Structure 1
Amino acid sequence: MNSLVQTAWKRFQNAFPVILFFFVLFLIIVEGFGLQYAIVVSVFTTIFQTQHTKSHTLSYYVKLLLNSYILCGLAFLSSLNLPLCILLNFTVPFLLVFLHSSQFNQKGYFSYAMIFVFLELMPPTLSTLPMELAAITVAVFVLGLSLQLYARLFLKTSEPWAKIRLGIGELADLLDLIASGNLSDDTSARLRRLEQDFHRLSYGGHGFFALKTETSRLYDMLAILFQRASYLVTDTSWKNSVDEAHIDALHRLAAYLRTVRDQMSSENNRALISEARAFLNGMNLENGRLRIFFRSFLHMLILILKSETEPETAAPPWQKLSLDDTIAGLRRRCTLESFEMRFALRLSVVMTVSYTISYLVDITHSYWFPMNAFLLLMPAFEESNYRMKTRPVGTAIGCLFVYLVLPNLHTTAGQFVFALAALSIMYCATPGTWNHPIFSTCYALTLASMSIPQTTAISMRLLCLAAAVVLVYVVNHFVFPTSRDTMFRFNMRTLFRLHNSYWEIIRQTLYGRVDLSSAREILTYFHMIYGEAAAYINSLPDSEEKSAGQKTLIVLWQIFSELEQMEFLIQTGYVDSRAFDSLLDLAAACQKRFTKGSHTPLPELRETSLPSADGEPVSAADLTAGRSPLVIAPSGNLDLDYVIRRYLKNAESVTAAFGTFA
């Protein structure tokens, strides 16, 4: 019993800011504009609930206000006639998901979609539209004041360098473990976790229409730094040829990283950069794998230290928007396999069907049908199925409560107290659980019973919910379903496509067109997809399929690390330009091998190119014609040739998996 009371008290403490915001906004809106605008309170309380633990700038509130005006206007237009109702209820939800959500931020659409959907429940007329816009303006103003006050009182300022110092300190400890020979699975897992953490931190700067920021670029580089250390652990081929000089170099690097952690600043890192360059210039390691690691690692660390003391020239917002990244994001979304397209279509179908029926059926409170459908349909297939079980249970219990309690409340004030108390408890419950809709139902039915008979309100609530469950069930199962298994297969295909995209980055670098922004975008997207695929495969019960999937993912990660190292060696001038033709042939051959429908073999790397039957060297054209495997001449750089051989060995081991998922 004590634990139950403690849990309830903890939930109330967490929900209290939301409850307080609701009461304040409810009093302001109802007293200032009237009870018919109470729907605005529910919408902006939900926004406060999802945003109060985050920091926001003035631009966020301006964007929210302008978008709210637009969505209010669209809600008004959708009520004018049936064609507009159908058109807008299909296009608006589709665009909101397409532009604001992603596979890694699946509910990014929710706040804006809720504004549109809920304002449609009781759409404004031409005469009441100015009043509704005024109510929205007041709500955004109160929301802004409340969020800023909460941030000042309770939120700690997030400082990027604090996260970076923690990460670099842990990396130094791990390098000492590596130097001591402790290459355990735990060491590898800790490094990959650090890498994934910084890829997630940088992901916000790679979203659709996201502005490029220095912080995002910094997180990108940190993620690459950890990736290079992590790859050193997974590639154990270097362990048998290390000596005391190699071990000492790793310990020195760990000690240097601790110095970086303690002394780096946003004002002057010249001493740290000079030490890194001296380390780099004085390095004379015989082990090729370690030599590649030290060069790539220290080069990236120098870039990180310079990034804060030598920031890029300030640019206006429109110049910070990467057109290439936006086009790449649009291409990823414009496929029936993408999460954004599949869920956008499902939500559009549900909203179009439900609001069209609500428009055509002249029954009071029929808008509960689209409202329930909107709340039942979630981006995740499994979550929608779960809500279709829990929401009917909670709604039925809520209807029973209202049926028993409301007849005993004889005054309007008493009914308001009951409704507001129920809603306060609702904010303490977890959305999607069976108890959450109990209290939302009590609130909605109490207000509805003020204008229609109680039994009619209860009947309509249950009927609309039943219709919503049927509609969402059909759409969730038959209109582009997105189960976890479906998304896993799509993720695997995406990883192979990104492999080919990174080869294209290497090709462009060989032609002299270096695009660091696109390279970082692909790397971040690869690792976000990789993390989601790994989470799914690790959640499966032990089986041969699980083991094979885990092995394939690890090798794909190694392949991408090797591609990134090739790109580094080419960018930094370690490769003779005379080897570029062979590398271009290699890129074309590897892209061809990992293209759907292709069965051509991967190329080979030997001392010299072998002649074909007619005495001419085998070319990429021969390969694409399927006549012979391509034999690539060495690049002339021992480090690059080492990476290429590792890449070809690993790539060969996942060709069967590519055939399965392509």
Structure 2
Amino acid sequence: MKIPFFSLDYIKDMCRASLAPTIISIILLPVLYIYFGIDNVLIAPYMALMYIRMKGYVDVDKSHIKPFFLHLFIGIIASIAGLTVLNALIINLIGGIVLTYLLTDEYNPSSYFPYLMAFVFLQLFPTTFDKIPLRLLAITFSYLVLYIVLKITMPKFVTSKIVVLIKDGFLNVSDQFKTLSKGEEIDFNKSKYELFEICRDMNRVIYLSEKSKFYAFVILFQHLNNITNDVLQRKYLLNDNKEYFKNLSDLFIDINENFSKNEYDEIIFSINKFLIEEKFSYEDLNNYFVFLLEYAIEIFQYFKDKSKKSLKETSKDFFIDFKKINHYRVSLNSFKLRFAIRMGILLSLSFTFIRAVHLEKSYWIPMTIFLLLMPFYEESKKKAAQRFKGTIMGIILCSVLFFIFKSTVSHIIIIGVSTFLMYSYADFTLLTTYITCYAIGISTLGETSGDYKVIFLRLLYTTISILIVLFANRFILRNKNYYEMENMIFRLIDINRQMVKELKNILDGEYNPIKVRELVYLSYLISGKMQIHNDPTCNEEELRILKAFIFNNNKLTTLLGHESVLLSITNEEKIDRRFILKNISKIEKILNQMEEVFKSGAKYKDYYSEGRLETVLLKNTYVNIQMSNCLIKSEDSLNALKRLNKSIKRNL
């Protein structure tokens, strides 16, 4: 385990990550302990965790109301669950299943964690029925502190992740056009992949923050990434359009600078000026450039106008229906439902056990079970090993500290330092070390003896909990990363089928741009999820093969989206309908083969050669050439899937 303790940048990053959640904990712990009682001190750690979750929100003011009322609701049912053994059995079973299922996001599987942590932690120190209002008041106070810290540390708009990504996108596009202006025939794959990564990260942040209005920038960047490739396919155009590319590069620099200042009028003026003064030498590409720049004007006009009327009128063009995107059927094949049932069963049994037997510090059993019970088997297995190792390290550290420091004040100091350190490290073993110090410090708060007994119980209950979690994850509705990755691949293939269907619809006079945008958006989300579910033991070559498939498949999806736009804006006489339909038919066959390849493993019927597909263009127009590119990229995706299929470890 290599930790760069002596790296100044590392120390700065560590302090920056830990400072705000540590402040929240330091403020809340003594106040909760003194004014609301020891029953409510565990509100502090999950509120600090909520800060980490909410700091990524684009607009804190519009994102805090729902979590607040959800915490109040959880506070009520968790308090009631702790009143009797029967309550613990029933409420943890039903509540654990329902809360886990509803709060686990398909594309962000850990989204349930801070809320379920509240549900579990509030039961660790149960309260009486008459003190439930006091607990709700403690939650309200704690959430107010959380909100104030968020407002101080997260200035509106300027430092939000999504705006930083948009600015990175503008700079990437500017650099691409600057390179073209020099007439250099270079490999653009690195720049294109960087912009692809920016778009994918934007998709993720947009989805998590529910700010779909920013998705228009993803669409814009996707098209700009495509158009530079179109230019490179016609290298004879480079010399004739050097000045055009130079001015276009400067335009995106200006857009980036003015976007930082929210100077939307300046941006719109600059784009209009460029459209008046500049023209690309190749007519079809010029029309495409004009289309994209006019689309950019629409985006900035939208951001300029803050009136409710304008928002309502333009929402259909810039917003994504997140409920439709996140639709997931209630089925045992859903990892969410399988995980929720497993969580509900284990929470119900563990809390019922500790309420019935009243063993000292036995609340550590449901707490550790919750912390180790992950949606997927591989994650739980890895975390269980790290948890045991970190617990041993934490116990050794606590033994030394508590031998020297025995007072309540010293315990609070240890808790504070542990809080800072446990938000500093991404490594789960070190994190567990400091969590152990934190937990033992909380558990012995106000006590003057019995520290070593608590340490022994910590080790005992951790061991028992690890064994329970490993058994449950293996034998109770097991989820494996490979199963989920397989589902994601089939869904990506299905998305491309739907994109091809939209091309047919356009030829029949029906164009649904919102559907096309949603499909591209969903493709990026699923691609990000595939990397989450990749085998953590894979080597660099296997990871490269996975990324190659993701990149090729997303390129195919965006090219199909690109073709749908071209078909919708191109005059009918320039469209060779027979050629388009013939290529669509070939793409459909390739998509069928992709599904067959992954279903049957390495044994498959080879419909096409490994080389580039040969196509004859009856009309050498831009829209037909792009249709040919879609066909070529579909074979690239097929070949990438073949390589991925051979490299995946099928630990069934």
- The interval holding the TM-score normalised by the smaller chain is 0.7 to 0.9
5, 25, 28: which one aligns with 1:22: 25
TM-aligned CA deviation for residue 318 of structure 1? 12
Whether the aligned pair in 2 keeps the contact of 1:100 and 1:109 (CA below 8 Å) is yes
Cα displacement (A) at 1:568: 0.9
CA distance in 1, matches of 2:237, 2:483: 45
SS where residue 429 of structure 2 aligns? Answer: coil
Number of aligned positions between the proteins: 618
TM-score (ref. length: structure 1): 0.77
Within-5 A mapping of 1:563-578 = 563-575=560-572
CA contact (8 A) 2:590 2:635 kept: no
Pick one of 512, 520, 523 that aligns with 1:523.
520
User: How much has 1:168 moved relative to structure 2?
Assistant: 2.4
Q: For residues 404 and 528 of structure 2, what CA distance do their matches in structure 1 show?
A: 55
1:643 paired residue among 626, 636, 639 = 626
State the TM-score, normalized to the length of structure 2.
0.78
Residue 227 (structure 2) pairs with residue 244 (structure 1): no
Q: Distance in 2 between matches of 1:297 and 1:33?
A: 58
Aligned residue number for residue 329 of structure 1: 326
Could you say which residue in structure 2 is the equivalent of 1:376? 372
Contact 2:527 2:550 in 1 (8 A): yes
Contact 1:106 1:379 in 2 (8 A): yes
CA contact (8 A) 1:559 1:651 kept: yes
Structure 1 SS opposite 2:311: coil
Which residue of structure 2 aligns with residue 606 of structure 1? none
TM-aligned CA distance change 1:149 to 1:305, over 3 Å: closer
Structure 2 portions without partners, runs of 5+: 598-603, 609-613, 647-652
Could you report, residue by residue, the CA deviation over 1:337-363 in whole angstroms, capped at 9, with x for unpaired residues? 666456545544543443344344442
Q: Name the counterpart of 1:64.
A: 67
Structure 1, gaps ≥5 residues long? 604-630
Pair 1:18–1:270, CA change in 2 (3 A): closer
Three-state SS of the structure 2 residue aligned to 1:238 is coil
Q: Which residue of structure 1 aligns with residue 124 of structure 2?
A: 121
1:313 is matched with which residue: 310, 329, 341? 310
Question: Is 2:418–2:437's contact at 8 Å kept on the other side of the alignment?
Answer: yes
Instruction: Give the drift of 1:115.
Output: 0.9
1:354-373 alignment, distance < 5 Å: 354-373=350-369
Correspondence 1:31-110 to 2 at 5 A: 31-48=34-51, 51=54, 57-79=60-82, 85-86=88-89, 88-102=91-105, 105-110=108-113
Identify if the C-alpha distance between structure 1 residues 476 and 276 changes in structure 2 by more than 3 Å, giving closer, same or farther.
farther
**1:493 matches 2:490:** yes
In structure 2, C-alpha distance between the alignment counterparts of 1:650 and 1:383, rounded to whole Å: 34
Q: Are 1:425 and 2:417 an aligned pair?
A: yes
Structure 2 distance, partners of 1:160, 1:225, is 19
Q: Give the drift of 1:220.
A: 2.5
Counterpart Cα distance in 1 of 2:383 and 2:296: 48
Alignment CA distance shift 1:247-1:150 (3 Å): closer
Shift of 1:473: 1.8
Q: Is the 8 A contact 1:590 1:602 kept in 2?
A: no
143, 153, 177: which one aligns with 1:175: 177
RMSD between aligned residues:
4.7
Matches within 5 A, 1:200-599: 200-207=201-208, 211=210, 213-214=212-213, 216-229=214-227, 231-232=229-230, 237-239=233-235, 241-242=236-237, 244-247=239-242, 249-261=244-256, 265-267=263-265, 269-278=267-276, 282-285=279-282, 294=289, 297-309=292-304, 313-315=310-312, 325-331=322-328, 340=336, 343-378=339-374, 383-399=379-395, 414-429=406-421, 430=425, 432-434=428-430, 435-447=433-445, 457-478=454-475, 488-510=485-507, 514-530=511-527, 533=530, 540-541=538-539, 549=546, 552-575=549-572, 590-591=587-588, 594-595=591-592, 596=595
Q: Offset of 1:552 from its aligned partner?
A: 4.0
* Cα distance in structure 2, aligned partners of 1:269 and 1:10: 34
- Deviation for aligned residue 1:34: 1.9
Q: Is the 8 A contact 1:395 1:462 kept in 2?
A: yes
Greater relative contact order (Cα 8 A, min sep 6): structure 1 or 2? 2
1:194 aligned onto 2:198: no
Inter-CA distance 485–402: structure 2 relative to 1 (3 Å threshold)? same
Structure 2 CA distance, aligned partners of 1:642 and 1:151?
Answer: 47
Partner amino acid, structure 2, of 1:442: I
